[in-house]
Chain A
Amino acid sequence: MVLGTYKEAVSARSTDSKILDVSQDGGIVSALLCYALDEGIIEGAVVAGTPDEDWRPVPTVVTSADEVIAAAGTKYSMSPTLSALKEATRQYGLEKVGVVATPCQTQGLRKAQAYPFTRFVAEKVKLIIGIYCMENFPMASLDTFATAKLGFDSLQDATKMDIGKGKFWLTKDGEDNGLAIKETHGYEQAGCNICNDYVCEWADVSTGSVGSPDGWSTVLTRTDDGASVFNAAVEAGLIETKPMDEVKPGLPLLEKLAKGKKDKNNAERERRAKMGVKVPTIY
């Protein structure tokens, strides 16, 4: 299955204007975290924040709705999220932790659960909210997009960053500036080129923009835990949903992009293996 195993696919958004004001898309990640914190399903979560508001993501432990909302929004650079999981379970002493993770981070986390070589950490992860991810960029690549390609004085002039409709968007002074995705090729990190997971197939629930209209997110509920948290949040009125087949462009686009990523990056994996360069051993 090109989208991995899932129970249900819906288009959804948060009903909380405080979340929608700052969220990347439908605010699903923030809404789920706030709900899970409120209900005691988790005591805290590891997310990617930007403490200096310079677009550089920093793994951050959040324990309140305010902190969740302060960390909302996508940062298109690497956040070594799992490094802060240790902080969450040790310094913060959290017993029930949520993690917002890209596909590769989810792979690391699921590996740590299946082979718990690190004591008393992986078992405390109670909710993995996965985000779709096509590729990620070094900070210097983002600088290049802003300054050399879009003519900004600095990346910091951007107030919103987004990828959609075939373009990399930077908003400056209220105006959206688009850069053709083709222009970003060659600037992604090399490790992304062998990744064959687009929709975070091993998360409890995964979400992203593709497939749903602006301001909405496409949600895939995967595990029992993921489905129960999501459905409870819908029931509590924190999230509104629409059936996937009633929205455009819907699942076909998501499937197309997921398959495209798999095909391209599996080919790259093979190419590297043939060259004799290391690729991960799969058991």
Chain B
Amino acid sequence: MFEKLKKAFGGSKDEAAPKVEEKVEAAVETPVEAAPEAAPEAAPAKPRIGYIHLSGCTGDAMSLTENYDILSTVLTDMIDIVYGQTLVDKWIHGTYAEEMPEMDLCLIEGSVCLQDEHSVHELLEARKKSGLIAAFGSCAVTGCFTTFARGGQQAQPKHESFLPISSLVKVDLALPGCPVAPEVIAKAVVALCEGDLDYLKPAMDWAACDKGCGCDVLTNVIRQGLCTGCGTCALACPTRAMGFSEGRPSCDRDRCIKCGSCYMMCPRSWLPEGRIKKETGL
């Protein structure tokens, strides 16, 4: 099962064992049962994953479940979901757990409403209990469209300030996207299980990110003399806010929801050369 996952998502291919197995099989047709022998000694603990839903739309959690082909394997063989109110019924204000468990990784979806004491408390508590915190989806990373919240609505007119979670706690990993794409969630989880920090490095470097906008490609790419008009930013934009003028992206800021995807995807912001070479063999 693990092997299938790794293959599907480009995990490390080079395993020492198979070579020997091949030789043995070719020689005497050893029954397949011979293989699992190695398993008992290792049995590494599965990463304990939590999921916290702050001011988000559950789109990112749904995106996680859209890994249909591999979801059951991920949930049963690869990780333990120890906390959360959507995929499991274990959360701090719920009926199951009054205390937040320790987590290796806590995925936090949504921005945090400063005027909602429960949200603030859950976020601060998660920081204490988690090895790693991932801002899961653009609302958590940049605020995304909760950036535009301004209060004045029933039944909590005072709920007006929504911040990216890195404003209140240290974030270790940012996975932007509105929603964050199923494929990159799966690849990130596999990388985490394998301890492949090289893969996670860009997301780690993005952790302190607390704003995003179509303007980023103007400010950080065009204005820096880096843009080649390749169109990746428009490919990344979920609202089709990105048009082109004179071969340069031109953001319709009335459509932009400030998810930060365009700049994240731009090959002139960062380029994973090592990973590309590994995946393509080039």
Residues of A within 8 A of B276 (CB): 110-111, 113-114, 202
A223 contacts B202, C-beta separation under 8 Å: no
Could you jot down 22 A-B contacts, CB within 8 Å?
A: A5-B281, A80-B234, A83-B234, A86-B234, A105-B228, A107-B267, A110-B276, A111-B265, A114-B275, A114-B276, A115-B187, A116-B187, A117-B177, A117-B181, A117-B236, A118-B181, A118-B265, A122-B183, A191-B227, A191-B228, A194-B226, A272-B225
Instruction: From the candidates B242, B261, B280, B282, name the one contacting A83 in the complex (CB within 8 A).
Output: B242
Q: Compute how far the CA of A202 lies from the CA of B230 in the bound complex, rounded to whole angstroms.
A: 15
List 17 other contacts, CB 8 Å, given A191-B226, A222-B282: A79-B231, A80-B229, A83-B244, A104-B267, A108-B235, A115-B265, A116-B181, A117-B180, A117-B261, A119-B183, A201-B282, A202-B280, A202-B282, A223-B280, A277-B225, A281-B271, A283-B275
Q: Compute how far the CA of A228 lies from the CA of B128 in the bound complex, rounded to whole angstroms.
A: 53
Q: Which residue of B lies closest to A114 (CB)?
A: B275
Residues of A within 8 A of B177 (CB): 117-119
Q: A191-B227, A193-B225, A272-B225 are in contact. Are A223 and B281 (CB under 8 A)?
A: yes
B85 at the interface (CB under 8 A from A): no
Interface string of A226-261 (1 = CB under 8 A from B): 000000000000000000000000000000000000
Q: Which residue of A lies closest to B188 (CB)?
A: A115
Residues of A within 8 A of B271 (CB): 107, 111, 280-283
The 10 closest A-B pairs by CB, nearest first: A78-B247, A80-B231, A78-B229, A108-B232, A83-B234, A82-B231, A83-B231, A116-B183, A119-B181, A190-B225
Q: Compute how far the CA of A195 lies from the CA of B225 in the bound complex, rounded to whole angstroms.
A: 12
Q: Compute how far the CA of A193 lies from the CA of B181 in the bound complex, rounded to whole angstroms.
A: 33
Q: Compute how far the CA of A230 lies from the CA of B239 in the bound complex, rounded to whole angstroms.
A: 37
B266 at the interface (CB under 8 A from A): yes
Contact residues, B225-260 vs A (CB, 8 A):
225-232, 234-236, 240, 242, 244, 246-249
B198 contacts A283, C-beta separation under 8 Å: yes
A192 at the interface (CB under 8 A from B): yes
B182 at the interface (CB under 8 A from A): yes
B184 contacts A105, C-beta separation under 8 Å: no
Instruction: From the candidates B182, B205, B272, name the one contacting A119 in the complex (CB within 8 A).
Output: B182
Expressed in whole angstroms, the minimum distance between the Cβ of B84 and any Cβ of chain A is 22
Residues of A within 8 A of B182 (CB): 119-120
B266 contacts A108, C-beta separation under 8 Å: yes
Interface string of B161-185 (1 = CB under 8 A from A): 0000000000000001101111110
Contact residues, B138-153 vs A (CB, 8 A):
none
Expressed in whole angstroms, the minimum distance between the Cβ of A254 and any Cβ of chain B is 17
B246 contacts A280, C-beta separation under 8 Å: no
Q: Compute how far the CA of A113 lies from the CA of B276 in the bound complex, rounded to whole angstroms.
A: 8
Interface string of A198-221 (1 = CB under 8 A from B): 000110000000000000000000
Expressed in whole angstroms, the minimum distance between the Cβ of A182 and any Cβ of chain B is 22
Q: Compute how far the CA of A104 lies from the CA of B270 in the bound complex, rounded to whole angstroms.
A: 12
Q: A83-B244, A278-B220 are in contact. Are A117 and B230 (CB under 8 A)?
A: no
B183 contacts A123, C-beta separation under 8 Å: yes
A191 contacts B266, C-beta separation under 8 Å: no
- With a 10 A CB-CB cut-off, give which of A79, A85, A115 has the most chain B CB atoms: A115
Q: Compute how far the CA of A119 lies from the CA of B235 in the bound complex, rounded to whole angstroms.
A: 10
Contact residues, A268-283 vs B (CB, 8 A):
272, 277-283
Residues of A within 8 A of B282 (CB): 4-5, 201-202, 222-223
- With a 10 A CB-CB cut-off, give which of B181, B202, B247 has the most chain A CB atoms: B247
Q: Compute how far the CA of A282 lies from the CA of B271 in the bound complex, rounded to whole angstroms.
A: 5
Residues of A within 8 A of B159 (CB): none
Q: Compute how far the CA of A84 lies from the CA of B273 in the bound complex, rounded to whole angstroms.
A: 24
Residues of B within 8 A of A102 (CB): 228, 230
Residues of B within 8 A of A115 (CB): 184, 187, 202, 265, 272, 275
Q: A82-B230, A138-B247 are in contact. Are A283 and B273 (CB under 8 A)?
A: yes
- With a 10 A CB-CB cut-off, give which of A112, A118, A282 has the most chain B CB atoms: A118
Residues of B within 8 A of A108 (CB): 230-232, 235, 265-267
Q: Compute how far the CA of A180 lies from the CA of B182 in the bound complex, rounded to whole angstroms.
A: 50
B99 at the interface (CB under 8 A from A): no
B111 at the interface (CB under 8 A from A): no
Q: A118-B261, A283-B271 are in contact. Are A80 and B249 (CB under 8 A)?
A: yes
B86 at the interface (CB under 8 A from A): no
Residues of A within 8 A of B267 (CB): 104, 107-108, 111, 280
A65 at the interface (CB under 8 A from B): no
Q: Compute how far the CA of A201 lies from the CA of B273 in the bound complex, rounded to whole angstroms.
A: 11
A104 contacts B228, C-beta separation under 8 Å: yes
Q: Compute how far the CA of A271 lies from the CA of B249 in the bound complex, rounded to whole angstroms.
A: 26
